[in-house]
Structure 1
C-alpha cells in the first residue's frame, strides 16, 4: 500500500476555490464573477476602458501613420486600464458585500500594505462587538466595531492593556461606522494608511514582540474568523458559540 500510494503534489490546486491557490488568469475570472454580482455595469465599463484607447490609437494612426504600432500600443493601454478599473471596482464591491456584517473591519485591514501587521478580534463581547488591532508606520491602532455605547468600555480596557506594553507609544483608537466621529468601512484602510508616520520598522518589530506576549496571556475568544453573514440563524449560532454552548 505504501508503494502504491501517490505522494501529494506541492503544486497549487488550479481547480479549487481559494484565490491563493488559483492561477493568475483564473484569479481574474473569479474576481470578475464575484464583482459582477454587486456591480452590474462592470462589463460595460471594462469594455469601454479597453476599447476607447484602441479607437484613439486607430484615429491617431490614420492621422500620423504607424497604424500597427499605435494599435498595439492602444491594446496594451486598454488592457492596463481595464485591469486597474477591475481592481478598483472589485475593492468597492467587496466593501459593499460585507457592509453591516460583524467582523467586516477585517476586510479593510486586509487592504493595508504589508508593512501593517493586523490582528482581528483581539477582544469581543457576546453581542459580537469587537476590537481589532493593527500596527505599522502610523503607530498602534485599535479599531472598535459594533454598538458605540458598548464599545467604549471595551476599547478603554484594551487601550490600558496596550499602553502598558507599548512603552510610551500612543495608542490610536478608531470607531468604525457611519455615524458622527466614525470611519466607514470603505474608508477605514485609507484612514489608517494616512496616519502620520510615528514608528520606524525596528520599532514596529519590537512592539510586535511585546504584543505577542500580551496576546499569549489573554483568554482565547471563540469568534469566527472573517465577516459574519447577516442571516439571523447563523448570527444566533455564533453568539451561542461565544457563550460556550
Structure 2
C-alpha cells in the first residue's frame, strides 16, 4: 500500500485562515489593513522619492520601497490584531490559560494543571527567573484556595531563597487579563539564577510524581496562535 501524505499548507492559505479567524472578532480589519498600507507606504514612498531622487530609477526605487514597507506595516498590524482576536475567542474557556503560557519559550518551564478541582478550576506552574509563579484560572475563590495550598507545598521544597508568586487570570481588580498574561510574567523582576532554576526543577520532580493526571482539555490557544504567528513570520 502506498503512503499518501497530505500536502503542506501554503503560506497564503495560512494567511487566509488567520484573516478569517480575525475577521470574526474584528470586522474592520480589512479597512484597517488597507489604511495601514496606504499610510505607511505613502509616507515612506515620499521619503524614498526624496532620498532616491526624481529620476526614472529613483521613481522605481521609491515605488518598490513604498510597497515593501506598506506590506511590512500590514503584517505587523495584522499580527497584533490576529493575536488579540485569538485571545478574545478563547478567553474564559478551560485550558485557555495553559495555552497562553505555551507562548513562553526559552528560559521558562511551564507545567499545566498542577492542581485542579472537579469544577475545572486550575492552577498552572511557571518556573523562570522570577521564581515559581502559580497561575490560576476559574472561580476566583476556589482558585485562591488552590493557590494557597500549592504555595505551601512549593515553599517546603523550594526554600526561602526562591520567591513563590501567584497570578489569577481574569478582568476583575487584582487579576491579569488573558491577553496580557505572558507580557505580565515577562515583566516580573528576575530573582533567581539559571542554576537555581535547574536545581528547583529537579527538586519538584518528586512533588509532581505524586500528583494525579489532570482531566483537563488542551487549550485552544496554542494551535490558533502558533499558526497565525508562523504565517506572520513567513
Alignment check: 8 A CA contact 2:130 2:163 kept:
no
Give the SS at the match of 1:134: strand
Structure 2: 5+ residue stretches without partners:
222-234
Partner of 2:219: 226
Partner of 2:102: 110
**Residue 212 of structure 1 pairs with residue 205 of structure 2:** yes
Partner of 1:232: none
Q: CA deviation at 1:58?
A: 4.8
Partner of 1:140: 132
Would the alpha carbon gap of residues 57 and 182 (structure 1) be closer, same or farther in structure 2, given more than 3 Å must change? closer
Give the SS at the match of 2:123: strand
What is the Cα-based RMSD across aligned positions, in Å? 2.3
Alignment check: 8 A CA contact 2:25 2:85 kept:
yes
Match of 2:64 among 53, 56, 72: 72
Deviation digits for residues 33-76 of structure 1 (CA, Å, limit 9, x no counterpart): 21111111111111222232333355456664211111111111
> Which one has more relative contact order, counting CA pairs under 8 Å at least 6 apart?
2
Give the SS at the match of 2:112: strand
Structure 1: 5+ residue stretches without partners:
15-21, 229-245
TM-score, normalising length: structure 1: 0.78
Would the alpha carbon gap of residues 62 and 102 (structure 1) be closer, same or farther in structure 2, given more than 3 Å must change? closer
Match of 1:184 among 174, 177, 196: 177
Would the alpha carbon gap of residues 115 and 27 (structure 1) be closer, same or farther in structure 2, given more than 3 Å must change? farther
Equivalents in 2 of 1:39, 1:70: separation in Å?
32
Equivalents in 1 of 2:43, 2:76: separation in Å?
19
Q: CA deviation at 1:180?
A: 1.9
Alignment check: 8 A CA contact 2:137 2:170 kept:
yes
Alignment check: 8 A CA contact 2:122 2:136 kept:
yes
